[in-house]
Amino acid sequence: MVDLVTLTTLAKLTKQLNVLKQTGGKQGEAGKDGKDGKDGADGSDGKKGVAGKDGLDGKSGLDGKKGKDGTQGSNGEDGVGITSVSQAADGDLVFTLSDGNEEVVELPLSMTSNSESSVRVYNRGSSEAITHSWIELATGFTSQSLESTIATGDVYSYVYSNTTLFRLIPSGAEQDAFYTTFSGGALSGLVIGRGLAV
């Protein structure tokens, strides 16, 4: 048989438990954070986005340093020049070249008629004379330039290796001729004319 005292004690305990369930206990302290979990697996690549607009052009960069000079090229072949011009008996012009060859130019009869007379041209400051024909003077110059236009035609200066002459190329009936002097718009010192012996 259960002791009366024991039954009484159980009844009290049961009553206290019911009271505790109804009133509830105080909230306990928060627990500590747990440890970090492991990294998850990589996700799949996203879709390709739309291309962006082109950016503005940047400023021009500074000039680069000057490069080194290239190696010197080899010398070219020697050229061929005219060493002298002469007139053959038939009126043809004979050009003697610096390589020893000769070139012959046939002139029309109108240019060779009465033109084989010659003139002695003196080097300035020297008594040495060189004989030339009108054709040689008209073709054997070193350089020529227009000096002036006068009433009778154009006056050109003809520079040779040993002197300078002045040629009148007429605009009318005047004679095509060479002179020693051109001053103040006038020619003087006739040397030789085309088809004229002096």
Q: Which of 9-18, 21-30, 145-154, 169-178 has the highest mean pLDDT?
A: 145-154
In angstroms, rounded to a whole number, what is the distance separating the alpha carbons of residues 5 and 185? Answer: 168
pLDDT digits (tens, 9 = 90+) for 142-189: 999 999 999 999 999 999 887 889 999 999 888 899 998 999 999 998
What is the DSSP-derived secondary structure letter of residue 41? P
* Model confidence pTM above 0.85: no
pLDDT digits (tens, 9 = 90+) for 93-141: 676 777 878 776 655 444 444 444 444 443 333 334 445 678 888 888 8
Q: Do the strands 177-183 and 186-193 form a parallel or antiparallel pair, or are they unpaired?
A: antiparallel
In angstroms, rounded to a whole number, what is the distance separating the alpha carbons of residues 16 and 75? Answer: 126
pLDDT digits (tens, 9 = 90+) for 73-93: 888 777 777 777 766 655 566
Q: State the pLDDT at residue 183.
A: 92
27 pLDDT more than 60: yes
Question: Alpha-carbon Rg of the chain, whole angstroms?
Answer: 60
In angstroms, rounded to a whole number, what is the distance separating the alpha carbons of residues 132 and 135? Answer: 8
Percentage of the residues of the chain whose pLDDT score is greater than 90: 16
Listed residue (145, 163, 156) closest to 182, CA to CA: 156
